[in-house]
Amino acid sequence: MNNKSFILANLIPDETQSGMGAWSYTILLPQLITIVITTFIIMMLSIGYYKRLKRLGPTDVPGGLVLFAEISIKWVEQQVVELMGPKYKSLTIYVMYLLLYIGIGNLMSVVGFESIATAYTVPLSMGLVTFIGIYYFGIKYHKIVFFKKYIVNPLELLTQFVPLISISFRLFGNLLGGSIIMALFSSLMGFIWGQIPYIGPVDLLSGVTLPFLSLYFDIFDGIIQAYIFAILTISYWALEIKEEGNKSSEERVVAVKRKPLSKKELKIAQKA
């Protein structure tokens, strides 16, 4: 097999293989198209917002897209400031990116494309950013003390990867689980429909019931998972900042001003 035919063989999924033998890191997945379309949609929305905002003066009343965008950005900014403090206000851009990219990417399944998060590479990459962020804020605020916990309790070496696995698999698993439930439900409806004699091949039962499931698994789940991913990311980072905030009075004041998620709230979010 020459080099060219090897590459081509790796771009198409091998239907004959099963198990790990079917895996190839160079296969072209349908999520690629979703990524491109999602990026394009966000780009169009951004341009639309920017152009409309440019036309508005400081005394003009915003409306439509500008008003919706301003309320949303303000809300995201407020969340970031409440959790991480005003110093990290600029992280609003990253949280906005997470919400838009995951939210719109997941909603693409409504119009027939693959959800962006059903390729584990995407949640894993974003989870890695969260994971690296935990280390960044941990080392920045705790310095060498950050590594002390690994010496005191070596089990921490294992549990340190929990945020990465939980945050990425939550997103991937929820969407994959949703689609599996929908596939099973569709099969069940098809089976029930098939038991009724003298009925045509069109599965009307699935047609009637599946949209309601799609409403939950595609729209609600897609949006709520984007929100959870974004909130958990800044919560993990905020925890590292918060734990440090007992050194100077000035830092204590900043820490008091922040309102990170309580343990109860964090558990609820993790369960979702």
Partner 1 sequence: MLLSSTVNPAEIINQLFPNLWVFIAHIIATIILLILLSKWVYNPFRKAMRARRQKIQEMITDAADKQTKATIKEKTALEMLTTAKVDASSIISEARAEAEAKKHNLLDETKKEIVHLNEQARKELAKEKEQYQDDIRKAIINTAFDAAQHLLEKEINKEKHQKIIEDFIDNLN
> What does the binding site for partner 1 look like in residue numbers (CB under 8 A)?
13-15, 17-20, 22-32, 35-36, 38-39, 42-43, 46-47, 49-50, 53-54, 56, 58-59, 69-70, 73, 92-94, 96-97, 100-101, 109, 112, 114-115, 118-122, 124-125, 172, 175-176, 178-180, 182-183, 186
CB 212 to partner 1: min, Å: 16
Nearest residue (CB) to partner 1, 22 versus 132 = 22
Please state the three-class secondary structure of 75-100 as a single string.
HHHHHHHHHHCHHHHHHHHHHHHHHH
CB 2 to partner 1: min, Å: 20
CB 262 to partner 1: min, Å: 28
Nearest residue (CB) to partner 1, 206 versus 244 = 206
CB 181 to partner 1: min, Å: 9
Nearest residue (CB) to partner 1, 46 versus 246 = 46
Please state the three-class secondary structure of 105-136 as a single string.
HHHHHHHCCCCHHHCCHHHHHHHHHHHHHHHH
Nearest residue (CB) to partner 1, 15 versus 250 = 15
Nearest residue (CB) to partner 1, 94 versus 137 = 94
- Identify which of 200, 135, 191, 199 has the alpha carbon closest to the alpha carbon of residue 164: 135
How far is it, in rounded angstroms, from Cα 178 to Cα 215? 11
Contact 167, 127 (CB under 8 A): yes
How far is it, in rounded angstroms, from Cα 84 to Cα 136? 14
- Identify which of 82, 101, 117 has the alpha carbon closest to the alpha carbon of residue 265: 82
Angle of helix 31-55 relative to helix 92-107, nearest 10 degrees? 130
CB 226 to partner 1: min, Å: 14
Nearest residue (CB) to partner 1, 211 versus 267 = 211
| Coarse DSSP helix, strand, coil percentages of the chain, rounded to the nearest 5 percent | 80, 0, 20
CB 254 to partner 1: min, Å: 21
